[in-house]
Structure 1
Amino acid sequence: METIKNYKSYNENKSIEELQFNLLQDINNLEHLKLELEFYKFLLEKPIFKIHVINLYERLSDFKHDIQSLDSKRVALLNDIYLHSNHIEQKIECDDMACDAFFIHEHDAVALRIFEFNQKVKAFKFNFFQYLESVFIN
């Protein structure tokens, strides 16, 4: 299965309801990610790692930092989505092409940020799980 690396927008012909639904899905995913990140932090604090692993403390500290960074970005992205969700309701009042184009452009920018953030989360998880698998006590 090939990973999607570039974002492609299909928002131009979507209804306001569909755009709002997609935003609600993104909000839900970002809210659930909070619990997942908290669990990863919990794992890093447990004595479940092999002893005498080279740079274990440093790598675990790096992962803790990555988790904190992802969580901060998650919160900022959620705030942007909430703000955009409020703006998109104003699209209903648009009656010209320029106004529609502005909202679609704004929505695409938010969708791109969500896509890029999700790519970062996937890369983090891949590296995190791969490393943990190599240092867990059998």
Structure 2
Amino acid sequence: MNSSDNTTEGALLKCHRDVLWWKSMVEFIEIEITFINRLLNSNVFETTHANVFETLDTFKHQIKTETRALKNLKEIIDGHEIKMRGMLECDDLSCDAVYLSNHESLKVHFEKFLKNFFEYKTKVYNYIGSIL
């Protein structure tokens, strides 16, 4: 990319770093989801707590929703990474603006997913911690 390009190398590098971080976080969350699934399906819970199995069933349903959301997000990130290669070929500001706008939209989507997943995970851990 030369200095006459409209998208700076710095902006492209920042987008690339974002994608690498997102992919790393997706891999980590996949491991967390596996752990949470195993935890929710384990036999360590006592039946003496009121509504324990109903609450666990709710969490199990929610983890399925989180798993689907993560799979969808992963596919979007992978597609975005492929499309980012097109930024190198942009030769006008409107082309650059589309890529950067898409990147920012994905960034907001990813941050919303993380927030929701962390809230879910906190609820699961707080509940399970209180009954073990």
Normalization by structure 2: what TM-score? 0.88
Higher helix share: 2
Which whole-Å CA distance do the structure 2 matches of 1:43 and 1:122 have between them?
16
Decide which of 73, 77, 91 is 1:77's aligned counterpart.
73
Amino acid at match of 2:16: Q
Normalization by structure 1: what TM-score? 0.84
2:20 equivalent in structure 1: 24
What is the number of equivalent residue pairs in this alignment?
125
Q: How does 1:1-138 map to 2 (within 5 A)?
A: 14-136=10-132
CA-CA distance at 1:37 after TM superposition: 0.6
Decide which structure has the larger Cα Rg and report it: 2
Identity %: 23
Which whole-Å CA distance do the structure 2 matches of 1:111 and 1:17 have between them?
15
Listed as ranges, the gaps of 5+ residues in structure 2 are: 1-6
Which whole-Å CA distance do the structure 2 matches of 1:128 and 1:84 have between them?
31
Which whole-Å CA distance do the structure 1 matches of 2:77 and 2:30 have between them?
16
CA-CA distance at 1:132 after TM superposition: 0.6
Amino acid at match of 1:116: K
Amino acid at match of 1:92: L
Find the residue that maps to 1:15 and give its secondary structure.
helix
Listed as ranges, the gaps of 5+ residues in structure 1 are: 1-11
Which whole-Å CA distance do the structure 1 matches of 2:104 and 2:42 have between them?
41
Per mean C-alpha deviation after superposition, the further-off stretch among 51-60 and 74-83 is 51-60
